[in-house]
Amino acid sequence: MDKLILESAWLDGGPRDVLVADGKFANTTGDLSPQDREDAETVDCRGLALVPAFYNGHCHAAMTLLRGYADGMPLDKWLQECIWPFEARLGPGDIEIGTRLAVLEMIKSGTVFFSDMYWQREITMRVVEEMGIRATIGVTIAENLEPPERIEEHFRFLAEHRFETDRVRLAVMPHAIYTVGENVFRRCAEVARAEGYILHTHLSETRREVDDCLRTHGCTPAELLDRWGALGPNLVAAHCVHLTGPEMARMADAGATAILNPCSNLKLGSGIPPIAAMLAAGMKLGLGTDGASSNNNLDMHEEMKIAALLAKATPGGTAETLPAARALELATASTAAAYGLRAGRIADGCLADALLVDLADERLAPAHDFTGNWVYSADSSSIRSVLCAGRFVMRDRRIPGEAEIVAEAERAAARLAGRPPRLP
């Protein structure tokens, strides 16, 4: 058995020894038996708080290569004039390099899982396996970007594989209702339901998407998903900025999850998701960063703080809406649960994914309220070490190969943008 004891880690207001075994928390009571301690590796965690790691519910990891490439543009123009032409030049090697930069950045900021809607899924899987974190990786379907024969290949892949390791799973990811037609979207929903996959899509991201949907289909986007047979407990819908009251009620009723990406929505001028109303409707919610080209980072701590702040300014919101503990839950256990992971809490039986946070950080003082300080005051730089599945993926802020990952990403991005690389 693979055993680790986190000695004197701060948890629930005091230091205690925590046992990790076979990638899960095995004893978090602080009362370890001699048997618990037998053959266990120990790590000194004095002065470090043990807190849940982050789960990123919506991302396009390799798009780190496009960070800052075309800022200050609205979504439609940004996609059509800048992002899609740049992406058309991305080779498999570029996607590997961009994904490595993304995973590096996520680990540094405490994220151990991401849901990835992108291309070259095998490459992404390999990078995630190698770097030691988790992902749900999309079989991405976009009829506007790929010919019918490629779409058929994706469905064949889904029929022939049931790829799943401890840390990496597949999901069916039709891009959006405006890039995937009714027939293909229905097939995505059917295969996901039949094979037990998560169905992940963009939903109601911009006002224009809603207006086009109303004009073309005579209903709102979530109503269209419902009509297309896609609205169920395995639906994880990103954005949901412009949902109506009836759509919120229907999604809550169906047990679908909305993944909020407030930074990206603000940056692209898409609006603010109606968080207070979503909470009041009893919707399942999670958080994601979206890609680094519209955020422009993959820092779930920032996303959590901004969601907690914004919620209070949405219609029906007050200073009491989405308090710190609930915001932390959205960024951890709720997002993990949307992807079928029992994780995001430091509790017996949960996946041993966690952060060791430096209690001496000036932003965690004074100690009136640790959770409040963690959500509203600290940033991800107070994270000293990151555990995923009971193993350290960052220790004392060091990640193997870091400098080379950053340098390689700069070289690839410069080549793709047709500019000289910035010398180190």
When asked if residue 267 is in the footprint of a second copy (CB under 8 A), the reply is: yes
Q: Which is nearer to a second copy, 257 or 264 (CB)?
A: 264
**Which of the residues 23 through 62 are near a second copy (CB under 8 A)?**
47
Q: Which of residues 341-370 bind a second copy (CB under 8 A)?
A: 359-363, 365-369
Applying CB under 8 A, among 380, 386, 390, 394 the residue interacting with a second copy is 380
Closest alpha carbon to 61 in 222, 289, 307, 242: 289
Nearer residue to a second copy within complex by CB, 136 or 293: 293
Which listed residue (24, 58, 60, 67) binds a second copy by CB under 8 A? 67
Q: Residue 139: beta bridge partners?
A: 172
Q: Which is nearer to a second copy, 32 or 416 (CB)?
A: 416
Which one, 246 or 316, has the nearer CB to a second copy? 316
Cβ 364 to a second copy, closest distance in Å? 9
Least distance from a second copy to the Cβ atom of residue 259, Å = 18
**Count of Cβ atoms closer than 10 Å to residue 266 Cβ:** 16
Confirm or reject binding of residue 418 to a second copy (CB under 8 A): no
Closer Cβ to a second copy, 340 or 421, answer by number: 421
Of residues 78, 118, 119, 185, which one binds a second copy by CB under 8 A?
Answer: 78
Question: Distance of alpha carbon 347 from its chain centroid, rounded?
Answer: 21
Q: Is 266 in the site for a second copy (CB under 8 A)?
A: yes
For a second copy, give the closer residue by CB, 224 or 259. 259
Binding-residue pattern over the window 198 to 227 for a second copy, x denoting contact by CB under 8 A: ------------------------------
- Which of 2, 190, 212, 402 is close enough to bind a second copy by CB under 8 A? 402
> Is residue 79 part of the contact set for a second copy (CB under 8 A)?
no
Under the criterion CB under 8 A, does residue 145 sit at the interface with a second copy?
no
How many residues of this chain bind a second copy (CB under 8 A)?
76
CB atoms within 10 A of CB 150: 12
**Which of residues 139 and 276 has its CB atom nearest to a second copy in the complex?**
276
Looking at residues 278 to 337 of the shown chain, list those that interact with a second copy (rule: CB under 8 A).
292, 295-297, 299, 302, 305-306, 309-310, 312-313, 317-321, 323-324
What one-letter code names the amino acid at 131? M
Residues 155 to 184: which contact a second copy by CB under 8 A?
A: none
